[in-house]
Protein backbone atom coordinates (compact mmCIF):
# COMPACT_ATOMS: atom_id res chain seq x y z
CA UNK A 1 0.00 0.00 0.00
CA UNK A 2 1.42 3.41 -0.94
CA UNK A 3 1.94 6.42 1.24
CA UNK A 4 -1.23 8.19 2.39
CA UNK A 5 -1.99 11.30 0.33
CA UNK A 6 -1.85 14.52 2.38
CA UNK A 7 -3.26 18.02 2.03
CA UNK A 8 0.23 19.18 1.03
CA UNK A 9 0.26 16.67 -1.83
CA UNK A 10 -3.03 18.09 -3.10
CA UNK A 11 -1.74 21.66 -2.69
CA UNK A 12 1.47 20.90 -4.59
CA UNK A 13 -0.46 19.26 -7.42
CA UNK A 14 -2.82 22.24 -7.84
CA UNK A 15 -0.23 24.90 -7.09
CA UNK A 16 -1.96 26.49 -4.10
CA UNK A 17 -1.36 26.62 -0.36
CA UNK A 18 -2.46 23.86 2.02
CA UNK A 19 -4.70 26.45 3.67
CA UNK A 20 -6.55 26.95 0.38
CA UNK A 21 -7.09 23.20 0.02
CA UNK A 22 -8.30 23.00 3.62
CA UNK A 23 -10.72 25.89 3.12
CA UNK A 24 -12.25 24.24 0.05
CA UNK A 25 -12.61 20.80 1.65
CA UNK A 26 -14.14 22.32 4.76
CA UNK A 27 -16.67 24.47 2.94
CA UNK A 28 -15.02 27.81 3.76
CA UNK A 29 -14.11 28.64 0.19
CA UNK A 30 -16.35 31.65 -0.51
CA UNK A 31 -13.43 33.81 -1.73
CA UNK A 32 -11.79 31.07 -3.81
CA UNK A 33 -12.49 30.93 -7.54
CA UNK A 34 -14.64 28.20 -9.04
CA UNK A 35 -11.72 27.15 -11.25
CA UNK A 36 -9.45 26.53 -8.24
CA UNK A 37 -12.21 24.64 -6.41
CA UNK A 38 -12.79 22.36 -9.38
CA UNK A 39 -9.06 21.71 -9.75
CA UNK A 40 -8.78 20.83 -6.05
CA UNK A 41 -11.72 18.40 -6.18
CA UNK A 42 -10.30 16.86 -9.37
CA UNK A 43 -6.92 16.36 -7.66
CA UNK A 44 -8.60 14.88 -4.59
CA UNK A 45 -10.37 12.34 -6.77
CA UNK A 46 -7.36 11.58 -8.97
CA UNK A 47 -4.88 11.17 -6.10
CA UNK A 48 -7.25 9.23 -3.86
CA UNK A 49 -7.27 11.64 -0.93
CA UNK A 50 -9.69 10.58 1.80
CA UNK A 51 -10.63 12.41 4.96
CA UNK A 52 -12.20 11.09 8.11
CA UNK A 53 -15.66 12.49 7.58
CA UNK A 54 -16.91 11.54 11.05
CA UNK A 55 -14.01 13.36 12.70
CA UNK A 56 -14.47 16.37 10.42
CA UNK A 57 -18.18 16.59 11.19
CA UNK A 58 -17.48 16.68 14.93
CA UNK A 59 -15.07 19.58 14.48
CA UNK A 60 -16.98 21.55 11.83
CA UNK A 61 -20.50 20.61 12.98
CA UNK A 62 -21.22 19.58 9.38
CA UNK A 63 -21.91 16.14 7.98
CA UNK A 64 -21.48 17.44 4.41
CA UNK A 65 -24.68 15.55 3.56
CA UNK A 66 -27.73 17.03 1.82
CA UNK A 67 -31.03 15.16 1.75
CA UNK A 68 -33.04 15.32 -1.49
CA UNK A 69 -36.67 14.23 -1.15
CA UNK A 70 -38.80 13.27 -4.15
CA UNK A 71 -42.32 11.99 -3.40
CA UNK A 72 -43.35 8.61 -4.76
CA UNK A 73 -46.92 9.63 -5.53
CA UNK A 74 -47.20 8.15 -9.00
CA UNK A 75 -47.78 4.50 -8.11
CA UNK A 76 -44.66 3.15 -9.82
CA UNK A 77 -41.43 2.21 -8.05
CA UNK A 78 -39.23 3.58 -10.84
CA UNK A 79 -41.03 6.91 -11.18
CA UNK A 80 -38.12 8.86 -9.74
CA UNK A 81 -35.98 8.02 -12.76
CA UNK A 82 -38.77 7.55 -15.33
CA UNK A 83 -39.58 11.27 -15.42
CA UNK A 84 -36.70 13.35 -16.80
CA UNK A 85 -38.07 16.37 -14.95
CA UNK A 86 -36.55 15.03 -11.72
CA UNK A 87 -33.31 14.05 -13.42
CA UNK A 88 -32.74 17.57 -14.76
CA UNK A 89 -33.23 19.08 -11.31
CA UNK A 90 -31.14 16.49 -9.51
CA UNK A 91 -28.18 16.71 -11.89
CA UNK A 92 -27.83 20.43 -11.17
CA UNK A 93 -28.27 19.97 -7.43
CA UNK A 94 -25.61 17.25 -7.36
CA UNK A 95 -23.12 19.24 -9.45
CA UNK A 96 -23.22 22.28 -7.18
CA UNK A 97 -23.21 20.15 -4.04
CA UNK A 98 -20.17 18.19 -5.24
CA UNK A 99 -18.25 21.34 -6.16
CA UNK A 100 -18.84 22.65 -2.66
CA UNK A 101 -17.72 19.51 -0.86
CA UNK A 102 -21.18 18.03 -0.20
CA UNK A 103 -22.76 14.71 -1.04
CA UNK A 104 -26.46 14.14 -1.62
CA UNK A 105 -28.75 11.39 -0.37
CA UNK A 106 -31.81 10.91 -2.59
CA UNK A 107 -34.99 9.53 -1.03
CA UNK A 108 -37.99 8.58 -3.12
CA UNK A 109 -40.15 8.71 -0.06
CA UNK A 110 -43.73 7.72 0.53
CA UNK A 111 -45.88 10.49 1.93
CA UNK A 112 -46.39 8.53 5.17
CA UNK A 113 -42.69 8.07 5.96
CA UNK A 114 -41.22 9.91 8.93
CA UNK A 115 -38.52 11.73 7.03
CA UNK A 116 -37.68 13.94 10.00
CA UNK A 117 -36.44 10.89 11.91
CA UNK A 118 -34.31 9.83 8.94
CA UNK A 119 -32.86 13.34 8.58
CA UNK A 120 -31.69 13.43 12.20
CA UNK A 121 -30.34 9.88 12.11
CA UNK A 122 -28.15 10.77 9.13
CA UNK A 123 -27.19 14.16 10.55
CA UNK A 124 -28.22 16.00 7.40
CA UNK A 125 -26.90 19.55 7.04
CA UNK A 126 -29.84 20.54 4.85
CA UNK A 127 -32.83 19.28 2.88
CA UNK A 128 -34.24 19.99 -0.59
CA UNK A 129 -37.80 18.72 -1.02
CA UNK A 130 -39.23 18.48 -4.54
CA UNK A 131 -42.89 18.22 -5.38
CA UNK A 132 -46.22 18.13 -3.59
CA UNK A 133 -46.45 17.01 0.02
CA UNK A 134 -49.28 16.63 2.46
CA UNK A 135 -49.56 19.12 5.30
CA UNK A 136 -48.40 16.45 7.77
CA UNK A 137 -44.99 16.42 6.08
CA UNK A 138 -44.49 20.14 6.62
CA UNK A 139 -45.86 19.88 10.15
CA UNK A 140 -42.99 17.48 10.87
CA UNK A 141 -40.40 19.77 9.35
CA UNK A 142 -41.66 22.77 11.33
CA UNK A 143 -40.34 20.93 14.40
CA UNK A 144 -36.76 20.77 13.14
CA UNK A 145 -34.06 23.37 12.75
CA UNK A 146 -32.49 21.72 9.69
CA UNK A 147 -32.19 24.31 6.87
CA UNK A 148 -34.52 23.47 4.00
CA UNK A 149 -35.46 24.63 0.51
CA UNK A 150 -38.61 23.41 -1.21
CA UNK A 151 -39.25 23.21 -4.96
CA UNK A 152 -42.70 23.27 -6.56
CA UNK A 153 -44.86 23.55 -3.50
CA UNK A 154 -47.48 26.01 -2.35
CA UNK A 155 -46.74 25.46 1.33
CA UNK A 156 -47.77 28.57 3.25
CA UNK A 157 -44.90 28.45 5.74
CA UNK A 158 -42.45 31.34 5.60
CA UNK A 159 -39.79 29.25 7.33
CA UNK A 160 -38.50 27.70 4.11
CA UNK A 161 -37.48 29.17 0.80
CA UNK A 162 -39.79 27.96 -1.97
CA UNK A 163 -38.65 27.93 -5.60
CA UNK A 164 -41.41 27.51 -8.15
CA UNK A 165 -43.05 28.92 -11.28
CA UNK A 166 -46.43 30.53 -11.86
CA UNK A 167 -48.17 27.21 -12.64
CA UNK A 168 -51.55 28.83 -13.20
CA UNK A 169 -50.18 31.30 -15.73
CA UNK A 170 -48.28 28.57 -17.56
CA UNK A 171 -51.36 26.41 -17.98
CA UNK A 172 -53.45 29.45 -18.93
CA UNK A 173 -50.91 30.22 -21.68
CA UNK A 174 -51.12 26.64 -22.97
CA UNK A 175 -54.92 26.61 -23.14
CA UNK A 176 -55.05 30.09 -24.65
CA UNK A 177 -52.64 29.00 -27.38
CA UNK A 178 -55.09 26.26 -28.42
CA UNK A 179 -58.00 28.70 -28.24
CA UNK A 180 -56.11 31.21 -30.40
CA UNK A 181 -55.64 28.40 -32.93
CA UNK A 182 -59.41 27.99 -33.16
CA UNK A 183 -59.97 25.08 -30.77
CA UNK A 184 -63.11 25.00 -28.65
CA UNK A 185 -63.30 21.39 -27.44
CA UNK A 186 -60.15 21.28 -25.32
CA UNK A 187 -59.28 18.53 -22.87
CA UNK A 188 -57.05 18.70 -19.80
CA UNK A 189 -54.81 15.82 -18.66
CA UNK A 190 -53.21 16.00 -15.23
CA UNK A 191 -52.10 14.19 -12.12
CA UNK A 192 -54.11 14.12 -8.93
CA UNK A 193 -55.68 17.54 -8.28
CA UNK A 194 -54.82 18.37 -4.67
CA UNK A 195 -55.73 21.51 -2.77
CA UNK A 196 -52.99 24.14 -3.11
CA UNK A 197 -50.98 21.74 -5.27
CA UNK A 198 -49.30 22.27 -8.62
CA UNK A 199 -51.98 20.29 -10.51
CA UNK A 200 -54.74 22.41 -9.00
CA UNK A 201 -52.96 25.61 -10.07
CA UNK A 202 -52.57 24.31 -13.61
CA UNK A 203 -56.22 23.23 -13.69
CA UNK A 204 -57.23 26.72 -12.60
CA UNK A 205 -55.17 28.24 -15.42
CA UNK A 206 -56.85 25.97 -17.98
CA UNK A 207 -60.26 26.88 -16.58
CA UNK A 208 -59.47 30.61 -16.62
CA UNK A 209 -58.48 30.54 -20.29
CA UNK A 210 -61.75 28.81 -21.21
CA UNK A 211 -63.83 31.29 -19.20
CA UNK A 212 -62.03 34.26 -20.74
CA UNK A 213 -62.87 32.92 -24.22
CA UNK A 214 -66.52 32.29 -23.31
CA UNK A 215 -66.10 28.50 -23.47
CA UNK A 216 -68.17 26.61 -20.91
CA UNK A 217 -66.16 24.19 -18.80
CA UNK A 218 -67.09 20.55 -19.44
CA UNK A 219 -65.81 18.35 -16.62
CA UNK A 220 -65.96 15.33 -18.94
CA UNK A 221 -62.97 16.86 -20.72
CA UNK A 222 -60.85 16.77 -17.55
CA UNK A 223 -58.87 13.54 -17.12
CA UNK A 224 -57.07 12.90 -13.84
CA UNK A 225 -54.40 10.25 -13.75
CA UNK A 226 -50.81 10.21 -12.54
CA UNK A 227 -47.90 12.22 -13.86
CA UNK A 228 -46.31 9.44 -15.90
CA UNK A 229 -45.87 8.00 -19.37
CA UNK A 230 -48.13 4.99 -18.76
CA UNK A 231 -50.90 7.23 -17.47
CA UNK A 232 -50.76 9.16 -20.74
CA UNK A 233 -51.08 5.88 -22.65
CA UNK A 234 -54.12 4.85 -20.62
CA UNK A 235 -55.82 8.22 -20.89
CA UNK A 236 -55.42 8.19 -24.68
CA UNK A 237 -57.78 5.22 -24.80
CA UNK A 238 -60.36 7.04 -22.66
CA UNK A 239 -60.18 10.13 -24.83
CA UNK A 240 -60.65 8.15 -28.04
CA UNK A 241 -63.56 6.18 -26.59
CA UNK A 242 -65.33 8.77 -24.42
CA UNK A 243 -64.57 12.19 -25.95
CA UNK A 244 -63.78 11.85 -29.68
CA UNK A 245 -64.97 15.44 -30.22
CA UNK A 246 -61.84 16.85 -28.58
CA UNK A 247 -59.60 18.71 -31.03
CA UNK A 248 -56.93 19.78 -28.55
CA UNK A 249 -55.51 18.63 -25.21
CA UNK A 250 -53.54 20.52 -22.58
CA UNK A 251 -51.24 18.15 -20.66
CA UNK A 252 -49.99 19.23 -17.25
CA UNK A 253 -46.60 17.58 -17.87
CA UNK A 254 -44.56 16.62 -20.92
CA UNK A 255 -44.25 13.02 -19.73
CA UNK A 256 -48.05 12.77 -19.83
CA UNK A 257 -48.14 14.34 -23.29
CA UNK A 258 -45.51 11.89 -24.59
CA UNK A 259 -47.54 8.92 -23.35
CA UNK A 260 -50.71 10.43 -24.80
CA UNK A 261 -49.14 10.93 -28.23
CA UNK A 262 -47.84 7.37 -28.28
CA UNK A 263 -51.25 5.99 -27.28
CA UNK A 264 -53.04 8.06 -29.91
CA UNK A 265 -50.64 6.85 -32.60
CA UNK A 266 -51.37 3.24 -31.63
CA UNK A 267 -55.06 3.99 -32.32
CA UNK A 268 -54.32 5.61 -35.68
CA UNK A 269 -55.19 9.06 -34.34
CA UNK A 270 -52.76 11.59 -35.76
CA UNK A 271 -51.13 14.52 -33.96
CA UNK A 272 -51.75 17.30 -34.90
CA UNK A 273 -53.99 16.47 -37.90
CA UNK A 274 -56.72 14.85 -35.78
CA UNK A 275 -55.95 16.25 -32.35
CA UNK A 276 -53.49 18.86 -31.10
CA UNK A 277 -51.40 18.26 -27.99
CA UNK A 278 -49.51 20.75 -25.83
CA UNK A 279 -47.29 19.81 -22.89
CA UNK A 280 -45.71 21.49 -19.88
CA UNK A 281 -42.01 21.53 -18.82
CA UNK A 282 -40.03 21.42 -22.11
CA UNK A 283 -38.00 18.33 -21.31
CA UNK A 284 -35.05 17.93 -23.66
CA UNK A 285 -36.70 14.98 -25.40
CA UNK A 286 -39.60 17.17 -26.63
CA UNK A 287 -37.58 18.57 -29.52
CA UNK A 288 -36.70 15.08 -30.75
CA UNK A 289 -40.27 13.74 -30.91
CA UNK A 290 -42.14 13.48 -34.19
CA UNK A 291 -44.00 15.73 -34.28
CA UNK A 292 -42.02 18.00 -31.95
CA UNK A 293 -44.05 18.78 -28.83
CA UNK A 294 -45.37 22.30 -28.37
CA UNK A 295 -45.02 22.99 -24.67
CA UNK A 296 -44.64 25.47 -21.83
CA UNK A 297 -40.96 25.82 -20.99
CA UNK A 298 -39.95 26.23 -17.38
CA UNK A 299 -36.39 26.63 -16.13
CA UNK A 300 -35.97 23.15 -14.68
CA UNK A 301 -32.19 23.28 -14.37
CA UNK A 302 -32.34 26.70 -12.71
CA UNK A 303 -34.65 25.34 -10.04
CA UNK A 304 -32.02 22.84 -8.97
CA UNK A 305 -29.17 25.32 -9.21
CA UNK A 306 -30.90 28.06 -7.23
CA UNK A 307 -32.19 25.59 -4.64
CA UNK A 308 -28.70 24.26 -3.90
CA UNK A 309 -27.07 27.69 -3.84
CA UNK A 310 -29.72 29.06 -1.47
CA UNK A 311 -29.50 26.00 0.76
CA UNK A 312 -25.72 26.36 1.12
CA UNK A 313 -26.24 29.98 2.18
CA UNK A 314 -28.90 28.90 4.69
CA UNK A 315 -26.58 26.23 6.14
CA UNK A 316 -23.82 28.81 6.67
CA UNK A 317 -26.24 31.21 8.37
CA UNK A 318 -27.55 28.43 10.57
CA UNK A 319 -24.08 27.41 11.73
CA UNK A 320 -23.01 31.00 12.40
CA UNK A 321 -26.20 32.13 14.13
CA UNK A 322 -28.55 29.19 14.92
CA UNK A 323 -30.94 31.43 16.87
CA UNK A 324 -31.66 33.72 13.95
CA UNK A 325 -35.05 33.19 12.30
CA UNK A 326 -35.32 34.29 8.69
CA UNK A 327 -38.56 34.68 6.79
CA UNK A 328 -38.52 33.78 3.11
CA UNK A 329 -40.60 34.77 0.10
CA UNK A 330 -41.14 32.52 -2.91
CA UNK A 331 -38.71 32.67 -5.82
CA UNK A 332 -40.96 32.54 -8.90
CA UNK A 333 -39.21 31.71 -12.19
CA UNK A 334 -40.69 32.68 -15.60
CA UNK A 335 -42.33 30.37 -18.13
CA UNK A 336 -42.68 30.69 -21.90
CA UNK A 337 -44.54 29.04 -24.77
CA UNK A 338 -42.36 26.95 -27.10
CA UNK A 339 -44.07 26.28 -30.43
CA UNK A 340 -43.23 23.12 -32.36
CA UNK A 341 -45.41 20.88 -34.54
CA UNK A 342 -47.97 19.20 -32.28
CA UNK A 343 -50.59 21.98 -32.51
CA UNK A 344 -52.48 22.97 -35.65
CA UNK A 345 -55.02 25.63 -36.44
CA UNK A 346 -58.64 24.56 -36.87
CA UNK A 347 -61.69 26.34 -38.25
CA UNK A 348 -65.01 26.57 -36.43
CA UNK A 349 -63.58 24.58 -33.53
CA UNK A 350 -63.87 21.26 -35.34
CA UNK A 351 -61.00 18.98 -36.27
CA UNK A 352 -60.47 16.21 -38.75
CA UNK A 353 -62.17 12.93 -37.93
CA UNK A 354 -59.57 10.18 -37.63
CA UNK A 355 -60.10 6.60 -38.77
CA UNK A 356 -62.37 4.86 -36.30
CA UNK A 357 -63.30 8.02 -34.41
Note the pLDDT of residue 277.
Answer: 98
What would the mean pLDDT of 65-93 be, rounded to a whole number?
75
Burial class (CB in 10 A: 0-12, 13-18, 19+), 353: exposed
- In angstroms, the CA 113 to CA 133 distance is 11
pLDDT tens-place string over residues 135-151: 666 666 666 778 889 99
Radius of gyration of the chain (CA): 24
Note the pLDDT of residue 115.
Answer: 72
CATH 1.10.260.40 fits 7-51, yes or no: yes
- In angstroms, the CA 52 to CA 60 distance is 12
What would the mean pLDDT of 110-134 be, rounded to a whole number?
74
Domain ranges of the chain: 7-51, 65-165+303-333, 167-298
Phi-psi region of 126 (alpha: psi -120 to 50; beta: other; left: phi over 0): beta
| 278 pLDDT more than 50 | yes
SS3 labels along 259-318: HHHHHHHHCCCCCCCCCEEEEEECCHHHHHCCCCCEEEEECHHHHHHHHHHHHHHHHHHH
Q: How far is CA 281 from CA 88, 247, 297, 315, 319, in A?
A: 11, 22, 5, 30, 36
Fold of 65-165+303-333: Rossmann fold (3.40.50)
The DSSP symbol for 219 reads: G
pLDDT tens-place string over residues 244-270: 999 999 999 999 999 999 999 999 999
Domains 7-51 and 65-165+303-333 share a fold: no
- In angstroms, the CA 122 to CA 337 distance is 42
Residue pair 144/120 in contact (Cβ under 8 Å)? The answer is yes
The CATH number that domain 167-298 falls under is 3.40.50.2300
What would the mean pLDDT of 265-285 be, rounded to a whole number?
96
What is the H or E stretch that residue 184 is in? none
Q: How far is CA 259 from CA 5, 71, 187, 254, in A?
A: 51, 21, 15, 9
Note the pLDDT of residue 200.
Answer: 94
Amino acid sequence: MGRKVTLKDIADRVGVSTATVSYVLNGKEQYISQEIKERIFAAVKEMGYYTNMNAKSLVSRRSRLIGIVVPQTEGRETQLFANNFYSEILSNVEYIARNNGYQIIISGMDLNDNYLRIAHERGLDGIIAIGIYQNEFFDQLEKTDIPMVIIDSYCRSGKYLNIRIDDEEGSYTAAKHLIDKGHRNIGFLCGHIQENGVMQKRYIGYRRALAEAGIELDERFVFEGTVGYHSGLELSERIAKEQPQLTGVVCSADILAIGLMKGLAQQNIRVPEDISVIGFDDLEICQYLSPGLTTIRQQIASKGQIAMEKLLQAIDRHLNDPEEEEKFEDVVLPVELIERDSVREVKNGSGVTAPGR
